[in-house]
Amino acid sequence: MTTPLWFEEQELAYLKGTNLFSNDTPSEQTSIGLQRGLYREQWELGIMELKNAGELVADFTWELFLWAQTIFSSRSFTSDLFTSKVGTSSFPVLYPMLDIFNHNLGTKVSWKFHSGDFSLCLEEKVEQGEQIFNNYSPKGNEDLLMGFGFCIPDNPYDQVAVRLGQISPDVHRQLHQSIPTHWQSETWEPKESVFHLRATSQSTPDNSNTYRVPNLTCLRGIPPELAKSVYIIMLEHSKTAVSSNEVPDEKEIWAGTIDVLLHQMEATLMGITRWNGELPDLPSTARGRAALLYRTGQVKILEGIISELKAFMDPLRAGEISIQDLFK
- Per-residue pLDDT tens over the stretch 29-85: 889 999 999 999 999 999 999 999 999 999 999 999 999 999 999 988 887 777 766
- pLDDT value of residue 86: 61
Instruction: Determine the Cα–Cα distance for residues 21 and 94; give it in Å rounded to an integer.
Output: 30
Contact 163, 194 (CB under 8 A): yes
User: pLDDT of 280-323, one tens digit each?
Assistant: 888 999 999 999 999 999 999 999 999 999 999 999 898 888 88
Cα dihedral 172, 177, 182, 187, rounded to 10, equals 40
First to last CA, the chain: 54
Q: Tell me which residue of 258, 251, 253, 254 sits closest to 239, measured CA to CA.
A: 253
- pLDDT value of residue 192: 93
176 secondary structure, DSSP code: H
Percent of the chain clearing pLDDT 90 (strictly above): 62
- pLDDT value of residue 204: 67
- pLDDT value of residue 142: 96
- pLDDT value of residue 92: 85
Contact 166, 193 (CB under 8 A): yes
For the cut 70, the answer to whether the pLDDT of residue 245 exceeds it is no
Instruction: Determine the Cα–Cα distance for residues 14 and 80; give it in Å rounded to an integer.
Output: 35
For the cut 70, the answer to whether the pLDDT of residue 256 exceeds it is yes
- pLDDT value of residue 105: 83
Beta-carbon contacts of residue 328 (< 8 Å; ≥ 6 apart): none
Q: Which of 15-24, 98-107, 153-162, 242-251 has the lowest mean pLDDT?
A: 242-251
For the cut 90, the answer to whether the pLDDT of residue 243 exceeds it is no
- pLDDT value of residue 61: 97
* Mean per-residue pLDDT, 116-134: 88
The mean predicted confidence, pLDDT, of the chain is 90
Beta-carbon contacts of residue 257 (< 8 Å; ≥ 6 apart): 227, 230, 231, 234
For the cut 80, the answer to whether the pLDDT of residue 240 exceeds it is no
CB atoms within 10 A of CB 289: 16
pLDDT band at 188 (very low <50, low <70, confident <90, very high): very high
Question: How do strand 109-114 and strand 117-122 relate by DSSP bridges?
Answer: antiparallel
Question: Can you say how many angstroms the Cα of residue 176 is from the centroid of all Cα atoms in its chain?
Answer: 22
For the cut 60, the answer to whether the pLDDT of residue 241 exceeds it is yes
Per-domain boundaries in the chain: 159-325
For the cut 60, the answer to whether the pLDDT of residue 208 exceeds it is no
Contacts for 134-142 with beta carbons within 8 Å, 24 or more apart? Answer: 134/98, 134/101, 134/102, 134/103, 134/104, 134/107, 134/109, 135/103, 135/104, 135/105, 135/106, 135/107, 135/108, 135/109, 136/103, 138/105, 140/196, 141/293, 141/294, 141/297, 142/19, 142/20, 142/294
- pLDDT value of residue 177: 94
User: pLDDT of 217-235, one tens digit each?
Assistant: 999 999 999 999 999 999 9
Question: Can you say how many angstroms the Cα of residue 249 is from the centroid of all Cα atoms in its chain?
Answer: 33
Percent of the chain clearing pLDDT 70 (strictly above): 94
For the cut 60, the answer to whether the pLDDT of residue 244 exceeds it is no
Q: Which of 72-81, 120-129, 167-176, 239-248 has the lowest mean pLDDT?
A: 239-248
Contact 141, 152 (CB under 8 A): yes
* Mean per-residue pLDDT, 251-279: 95
pLDDT band at 149 (very low <50, low <70, confident <90, very high): very high
User: pLDDT of 93-119, one tens digit each?
Assistant: 888 888 888 888 888 988 888 777 888
- pLDDT value of residue 247: 67
